[in-house]
Structure 1
Amino acid sequence: MVSSKRIPTKHVLSHDALRNPIGWATATGLAVIAAILRMIGLGHPKELIFDETYYVKDAYSLWKYGTERAWPEEPNPNFVSGNPMPLDDPGYVVHPPLGKWMLSVGQMIFGQDSSFGWRFSAAIVGALTVFIIVRLAIRLFGSIWMGFIAGLLLMTDGEHFVHSRTALLDLFLMFFVLLGFWLLVIDRDYARTRMVELTTGNSQKKSADLSSFGPHLGWRPWRLAAGVALGCAMGVKWSGLYALAVFGIMIVVWDVRNRYLARVKYPLRGMLVRDSVPAFMSLVPVAFVAYVLCWSGWIFTDKGYDRHWAQEHQGWWSWLPDWIPSLAHYHHSAYKFHVGLSSEHPYASNPWGWIVQWRPTSFYYRSPEPGQNGCDWDKCSAAITSVGNPALWGVAAIALVIVLLAWLVRQDWRAGGIIAGMVATWAPWFTYQDRTIFTFYTIVMVPFVVLAVTYCVGLVWGRGRLTVSLRVRRILVGVFLAVAVLLFAYFWPLYTGTTVPYESWRQHMFNPSWI
């Protein structure tokens, strides 16, 4: 039989902060503010910056033709002026299509030549991630105040802000990874509550199957939804696969822990017997199906790159629908491109420096002449640099060490989840240090950095009777948040491409490696 003596019932069943309408209002309010901030001057600059030159045109091709098209030499001037001229040939691209489909929505609404429309989807999705992280932090920390802090830190982070105003893919990857993590945390709470109900008599349908392995927990819809989200993450960029793998291991640990706390005699075996197969089926096959569906435009049209490869190359695969071996060959070709990418780039960086934003990526830089483009000084600069808020990233490394210790020493599942997120979004890049990679990839890490810092802020904030010591600590928290907001305002010109005196731009370069 199962004993419930070790189940922290109060913790499992208490969701007051989650149900409180103030929590929903906080998440919604911060998301709306984030959206407004990201919409201000969103159409500037009226040109394709950085890798927008690839993804905006690919988004247009997907909208019009269902697959990416090739483009002639120097296509950007015509594209920007509203006269796109794609070739009739298929375009060879090395990232899946979902992120570009999402970018195409803005062009559908505002028109192909609207620079506001190019970036509209990114701004909306960026605001949605603020909503998600507030709700996630409230669930993790049981505090609306901690949810507010997490939302504020994400909203005012420079990496997040710049990506929310640029038509790149990585923000959409971050969105789906964060969404998948949030859904798995919801599922964990659901499973804990269900375990209590089935082992303490709180359920009207108390499980009769209380063997040494513990009860079946039944249908897990949140895990199924997480599988879809993580499949969509892979449908934006293949690096979403790392999140699927790491989060899969994470939920195994959570399932074993759930049965252990319920005093199941054999928690590991119980997980293997009761949870492992349903968990695998709700994540891996579901994610795979979601990923393949992201290629629907390529599958159901005949103009995609390598679409007819199987027809031109007969083999053992000939009995399969031709799109399957053709798509597999396309993936093999794209994989070879990725692993062989090692060209020189002035803003290439090493992942060791990402946690301190050692070499941020410049998305845009111009030196307007006096009297042009708002230049009222002798020498001017207009820049968009994807650099994180120094207040957040200045303490990020220390926060991660504290969170890691909290997981190892205190076995705090929240800390473990944050570490899992960091492993999924940061650790894989250490195996590609000989490749051309960039600090702006850290946008996918940002939510977990925010959660790590929020975790530590919660430790400083404390709880209980308001002593002098506690009052001082809370003042320090307030100062930290104020500094984060002020630094966000200070770096606004560097995030938005605003024309400023050259000396002002140099003053924003806190580290010579930023130039």
Structure 2
Amino acid sequence: MIRAFGNRTVAIWTVVAAALFLRLFRLSTPGKLIFDEIYYVDGARDYLDFGVEVSANKPEFIVHPPIGKWVIALGIRTFGDNPFGWRVGVALLGTLSILMIAKIASRLLGALGYGLIAALLALFDGLNLVMSRTALLDMTLTTFLLIATWFLIERRFLLAGIFFGLSLGTKWNAIFYILAFTLFFLLREIRENAKNRKLLESAEASQSNLREVIGLVLLRKLQLLVVPLVVYVASWFGWFSSMRGWSRSWAEENGISLFPTLRSFIHYQFEILNFHQGLNSRHNYRSDAWQWIFQWRPTSFFYESPKCSVGNCSQEVLAMGTPLLWWSGVLALVVLIVLWLRYRRHSLILFGVAAGWLPWFAFPDRTTFSFYSIIFEPWVILTIVAAIKEINERLPARFSRRARKGALALYISIIGGNFLYHAPIFLAITLSYEHWRSLMWFSSWI
């Protein structure tokens, strides 16, 4: 058992090392800002220069919190204002996400082997790779949420609250995970306390138990709701310490003398909220939430037709999950939903998918993109691994251990093969137009 544990630990770290290599390999390609990097790298530069985002030396209206841009800024400060420096911070956090997926899978499913499977599937996901190689906010958000989840599982609630705050300070949609997971772990802890304690039937014992539950609820709210809010507000330290931020003087300009800085900050947050609620502009790569799990309309971050020896060539960065991985995730999700309805199993994994995906269905008119699915991509992978475990445990005895391992190896090999097949459009490798076109299985991918 110890030997197997050690071997699998080494294997997981080998997968993490491979993930790091893929994320740093040709990281400076494309050699210019792509997609929304133009906003976030510009913001990172402003943080380094001014501590707050400005435009033409005037306050700039910014609709996302600072933390994700500070991650980009640290890369620029360390490696320079160049393509590698822009992206390296996100690349390192993207690599860390692979390790966190493995740790969570091992813990939730009860064996390190399941963590290894999860790590391999995450390694072979194109969306994870692309989002880790692009200076956007979503991979930073996803990794912070995974770390927070790990601390929740470990019952280190204060640390979980801090990382929830860092995730909220990166992008607002972290709030759905904060609320969902706080509710989930709080209810689970209350149930466990009730089971572990033999309650007397006296009124005094009932009152004592009620006080204990109330105390627990208040403590967890403090750790998982108040602490994230404090971290979120603190993440705007540049705005608070400067008079150059957007709406920084709104309270004074409107004759408000009581707590003017706080009132200005709250006003700014409502301005951001109004922006997000009204965001419904047309975009060629707009994708509705129901399409994401099928990777129906992936987002092209970069496309050029460079000169090459074979005539017409193409070079692209397509933010698309490995198709066969995600499609098998759809089947696994069906399996887990059926099991949950019958046995209430794998609730946290289903919560993880739901918290990152379902809220977007409430905003059908909002401009959304398929790469938003990166936030629940780890939970799709955990869904697949949980389904593998359930199927393995229910297979008849006539299926030998060797046959089961062979089937699993075949599945992972197919996913890995699909990943390698599409890798050129994840890594901006120049291809002949005919080769590039062969990778576009559907017209909706173009």
Instruction: Identify the TM-score tier after normalising by the shorter chain.
Output: over 0.9
- Does residue 223 (structure 1) correspond to residue 157 (structure 2)? The answer is yes
Question: Which residue is 1:30 aligned to?
Answer: 15
Q: Distance in 1 between matches of 2:52 and 2:89?
A: 19
* Paired position in structure 2 for 1:409: 342
CA distance in 2, matches of 1:23, 1:275: 37
Confirm whether residue 386 of structure 1 aligns to residue 319 of structure 2.
yes
Q: Is the 8 A contact 2:44 2:72 kept in 1?
A: yes
| TM-score of the aligned structures, taking structure 1 as reference length | 0.81
Q: CA deviation at 1:447?
A: 0.5
Corresponding residue to 2:142 among 168, 174, 198:
174
Please show how residues 24-423 of structure 1 align to structure 2 within 5 Å: 24-70=9-55, 87-112=56-81, 114-187=82-155, 222-262=156-196, 264-265=198-199, 269=210, 272-315=213-256, 318-320=257-259, 322-368=260-306, 372=307, 375-412=308-345, 415-423=346-354
Q: After the TM superposition, which residues 475-514 of structure 1 pair with which residues of structure 2 at under 5 Å, given as runs?
A: 475-514=406-445
Match of 2:203 in 1: none
Secondary structure of residue in 1 paired with 2:139 = helix
Counterpart Cα distance in 2 of 1:389 and 1:347:
18
- For the residue of structure 2 that corresponds to 1:362, the secondary structure is strand
Q: Point out the more displaced range, 298-307 or 233-242.
A: 298-307
Deviations 1:278-316 (A, max 9, x none): 11111111011111111011111221111111221123x
Name stretches of at least 5 consecutive residues in structure 1 with no aligned partner.
1-15, 71-86, 188-221
Q: 2:300·2:319 contact (CA, 8 Å) conserved in 1?
A: yes
Residue type at the aligned position of 2:227: V
User: Partner amino acid for 1:498?
Assistant: I
Supply the distance in 1 between the matched residues of 2:198 and 2:123 (Cα, whole angstroms). Answer: 43
- Percent identical across equivalent pairs? 35
Structure 2: state its 5+ residue gaps.
Answer: 200-205
> 2:202 maps to what in 1?
none
Aligned pairs, how many?
438
TM-score, normalised with respect to structure 2: 0.93
Aligned mates of 2:209, 2:24 — CA distance in 1: 50
CA distance in 2, matches of 1:465, 1:350: 41
Residues 116-145 of structure 1: per-residue CA shift (max 9 Å, x gap) = 110001110001111111111111112111
2:133 aligned counterpart, secondary structure: coil
Report SS of the residue matched to 1:398. Answer: helix
Determine the C-alpha separation between the residues in 2 that align with 1:365 and 1:257: 53
Counterpart CA distance in 1 for 2:302 and 2:443 is: 18
Once the two structures are superposed, residues 179-209 of structure 1 have per-residue CA deviations (whole angstroms, 9 ceiling, x without a partner) of 111111111xxxxxxxxxxxxxxxxxxxxxx
Q: 1:60/1:268 Cα in 2 relative to 1: closer, same or farther (>3 Å)?
A: farther
Supply the AA of the counterpart residue of 2:352.
Answer: G
Which residue in 2 is equivalent to 1:194? none
The alignment's C-alpha RMSD in Å is: 2.1
2:251–2:264 contact (8 Å) kept in structure 1: yes
Larger Rg: 1
Match for residue 437 of structure 1? Answer: 368
Partner secondary structure for residue 303 of structure 2: strand
1:439 Cα offset (Å): 0.4
Q: Is residue 9–residue 112 contact of structure 2 (8 Å, CA) maintained in 1?
A: no
1:460–1:474 contact (8 Å) kept in structure 2: no
Cα deviation 1:54-83 (Å, max 9, x = unaligned): 00111111111101121xxxxxxxxxxxxx
Deviations 1:148-175 (A, max 9, x none): 0101111110110000000000111111
